[in-house]
Structure 1
Amino acid sequence: MAGRPGVVRGTTVGGMDGDRRGWRQCLLSGAVFAVCMVGTTLPTPLYGLYQEKFGFSELTVTVVYAVYAFGVIGMLLLAGNASDAVGRRPVLLAGLGFAAVSAVCFLCATGLGWLYAGRLLSGLSAGLFTGAATVYVIDLAPYGGASRATFVATAANMGGLGCGPLLAGVLAQYAAWPLYLPFVVHLALVAGSAAVLLWLPETVREPRPLSTVRPQRPALPSQVRAVFVPAATASFVGFALFGVFTSVSPAFLEQSLGVDNRAVVGLIVALAFFASTAGQLMVGRVGVGRSLPLGCAGLFAGLALLAGALRWDLLSLVVLSALVGGGGQGLAFRGALSAVAEASPADRRAAVISTLFVVAYVGISVPVIGVGVLTGPIGLEGAGLVFIACMAVLVSTAAVYLLRRPVRART
């Protein structure tokens, strides 16, 4: 069956058999998506071990982490629309190639430069996958299954991000070679994913040469700004909260709470991403119009819980912060995407959504580096409280704006 113009859906046989084949292809492409995203958070519970091995500061940890976001932003701007031209599979295979080389960098790491290279390549991989894999999962679904396929893509994205620290934490804690085995396992998963991708069909009907791909400029038409500003603010705060959880929380858990079990550290970080998936699923029940302000409330509550955890050194509050803040992030970000997409002109929608992603990934990098800069003079807990105060002001401002001027968007 044909989907939108220029796209061929994966289901080529009519009836029940065709639907089964389409969903099988959809789920397999979602698994490939998840494998790529696993690699982007795999180093999270290992940063402490790298600090011991190479002797760098907490600021350096945040910079190493943030390099990933710069790679994502660069790729989104330079080639975020490449799969529309050259096809989904070539772009995703290139993304898997970047993921594999990233894993090799970590395996060969003999100094800080290797970690920077590995994180940058991981960001380039995620930048290629973020848009292309989401669309590919939807393309492969049977006719009428776009809504369920969107959930598959969401679960693959956030689920993969959550499984990365969990997998690395378990292997680092209970298996040999903690700085090597997680990346060997990921390389094997990437190789299997490449084989699956080669088996899956291409969904772009008439691929064009790579030379036709042009860099995307951030775009913000005037009629979108009233919706975009609160949506982008909530997205910025949500991704900033994730950035802190995946870069700084392992050090806080070990230094302030005495949690030296890397599997536990990985699980706590993973909970934030799993909660985000649940939050995005809740949008269908609460409605897009209410999900953005409710998401802001969840983010504020998550920040408050994290502040309590930092102030009183309570592990239970860290866990609650991950669950509540992650759920708020999921609600807010899916609501933001839907509201911005609804308000955007059809011919500029992709560019506006790309701009929203750029703002979100700035949120996952710049504030995290700020925490690292402040850690030296005022300590990790003090830097965390300053971060929380700034983010709380931003998300509260967005929430007040939304209460005064509610947005309407389709689910």
Structure 2
Amino acid sequence: MDGGLARRGWLPCYVSGAVFAVCMAGTTLPTPLYSLYQDELGFSELTVTVVYAVYAFGVIGVLLLAGNASDAVGRRPVLLVGLGCAAASAVCFLGATALGWLFAGRLLSGLSAGLFTGAATAYVMELAPGKGSPRASLVATAANMGGLGCGPLLAGLLAQYAPWPLRLPFVGHLVLLAASAALLLGLPETVSRRRPLSTVRPQRPGLPPKVRAVFGPAALASFVGFALFGVFTSVSPAFLAQFLDVDNHAVSGLIVALAFFASIAGQAAVGRMGEARSLPLGCAGLLGGLTLLACALWWHLLPLVVLSALLGGAGQGLAFRAALAQVAAASPADHRAAVISSLFVVAYTGISLPVIGVGILSGHIGLQDAGLVFIACMAVLVACAGVYLLRRPGGVRV
């Protein structure tokens, strides 16, 4: 079966992309359900943000401790373990009768995403004809962000229009995970020289001097882009319910999904615009998305929330794909993995710490004002990155 699939052109690449998407969908599946968990278990908005952020700590831990595991033991074993962690996460949410279950579920979800982020991206590209082609890169990007977008969309639809809103989404995900494991077992292994797991060593993030000028603005843009996604996927359903009277879980899930789908469009546009131009344009898109979100918070307008998701998501896609490409190109080959790990650590820090900050502030000054403080801080960071990119020697003309 391995040989048969290997001879089918792009099919193995697309199948591995589908497996990637299914795993990533599980990481955002709880997004439109947090309000239901709040009603059932009785916890604060701060707790929602901490539960959400635990996921990022799991991702960062895996990236640092075992981010290169698939290079040693092979792609499929690591991805199968990732699917197992995703299944364990779904079981935790299915049995969530206390807050501890949610923390465990989010941590396991983070472990699954950490295992998949590097290994699945490499696997998708290696299974494509002509390894590393732009088309293969786009498949990996679409699988990652598309899966993240499909999670809240699926959960929101099931929670709103089907029975058992806190059970059915995770049962459905378990079925998809089982099918994904079967598909994965039918794909060929792409690592020919495998080594024992004992040879895997923690990756220490590092920045050679020649990378630092490129890394600074790239890291800032990545931090802000992921922070914006963090707010959309943790507290935006609460804002929609409290200030816009949007209690429809499907609508909440759709708005979050739009940000991720817009990111796919932004990342796809990098190939046409070029990396040097895409990074400052992405910063501008992020700044525009933050501005629209601030206006939505101030005037309580749903259309501005939607526009913020679209523009901010597109800006994140432009900025992050360009940042990743520029940082990788500037890195010496023997330090490239460590530098890319550093960028992902910064990005996933962005998806966790600012969100917790919003949760803490919301308990003192309210969700609306906390959101405005967050937006102001992120706008300053991304504006600094954009100005530096435009004014540095050899800066691009946009």
State TM-score, norm by structure 1.
0.94
Structure 2 vs 1, CA of residues 48 and 208 (structure 1 numbering), >3 Å: closer, same or farther?
A: same
Structure 2 vs 1, CA of residues 180 and 271 (structure 1 numbering), >3 Å: closer, same or farther?
A: same
Tell me the alpha carbon deviations over residues 244-300 of structure 1, each in whole angstroms, 9 at most, x when there is no partner: 000000000011000011001100000000000000011011110000000000000
Name the amino acid aligned to 1:254.
A
What does 1:111-190 align with in structure 2 at a 5 Å threshold? 111-143=98-130, 146-190=133-177
Q: Percent identity?
A: 78
Does 1:223 find its partner at 2:224? no
Tell me the alpha carbon deviations over residues 187-207 of structure 1, each in whole angstroms, 9 at most, x when there is no partner: 000000000001101000021
Name the amino acid aligned to 2:177.
V
Contact 1:257 1:314 in 2 (8 A): yes
Structure 1 residue 143: Cα displacement = 2.2
Contact 1:302 1:325 in 2 (8 A): yes
- Indicate the residue corresponding to 2:21 in structure 1: 34
Candidates 237, 240, 243, aligned match of 2:227: 240
Q: Distance in 2 between matches of 1:407 and 1:37?
A: 38
Structure 2 vs 1, CA of residues 155 and 80 (structure 1 numbering), >3 Å: closer, same or farther?
A: same
- Indicate the residue corresponding to 2:254 in structure 1: 267
Tell me the alpha carbon deviations over residues 88-109 of structure 1, each in whole angstroms, 9 at most, x when there is no partner: 0000000000000000000010
Q: Distance in 2 between matches of 1:342 and 1:40?
A: 30
Equivalenced residues, count: 396
Q: Distance in 1 between matches of 2:131 and 2:228?
A: 35
Does 1:257 find its partner at 2:244? yes
- Indicate the residue corresponding to 2:91 in structure 1: 104
Q: Distance in 1 between matches of 2:322 and 2:269?
A: 10
- Indicate the residue corresponding to 1:315 in structure 2: 302
- Determine helix, strand or coil for the equivalent of 1:219: coil
Q: Distance in 2 between matches of 1:230 and 1:313?
A: 32
State TM-score, norm by structure 2.
0.97
Structure 1 residue 405: Cα displacement = 1.6
Q: Which runs of 5+ in 1 are unaligned?
A: 1-9
What does 1:343-358 align with in structure 2 at a 5 Å threshold? 343-358=330-345
Candidates 359, 370, 375, aligned match of 1:388: 375
Q: Distance in 2 between matches of 1:50 and 1:215?
A: 36
Q: Which runs of 5+ in 2 are unaligned?
A: none
- Determine helix, strand or coil for the equivalent of 1:216: coil
Structure 2 vs 1, CA of residues 401 and 246 (structure 1 numbering), >3 Å: closer, same or farther?
A: same
Q: Distance in 2 between matches of 1:358 and 1:262?
A: 31
Candidates 62, 73, 76, aligned match of 2:63: 76
Q: Distance in 1 between matches of 2:311 and 2:9?
A: 35
Name the amino acid aligned to 1:221.
P
Q: CA RMSD in A?
A: 1.6
Q: Distance in 2 between matches of 1:70 and 1:186?
A: 22
Candidates 372, 377, 386, aligned match of 2:364: 377
Q: Distance in 1 between matches of 2:157 and 2:287?
A: 31
Q: Distance in 1 between matches of 2:373 and 2:326?
A: 30
Tell me the alpha carbon deviations over residues 162-189 of structure 1, each in whole angstroms, 9 at most, x when there is no partner: 0000000000000000000000000000
Contact 1:243 1:364 in 2 (8 A): yes
- Indicate the residue corresponding to 2:279 in structure 1: 292
Structure 2 vs 1, CA of residues 209 and 407 (structure 1 numbering), >3 Å: closer, same or farther?
A: farther
Structure 1 residue 408: Cα displacement = 8.4
Name the amino acid aligned to 1:312.
W
- Indicate the residue corresponding to 1:330 in structure 2: 317
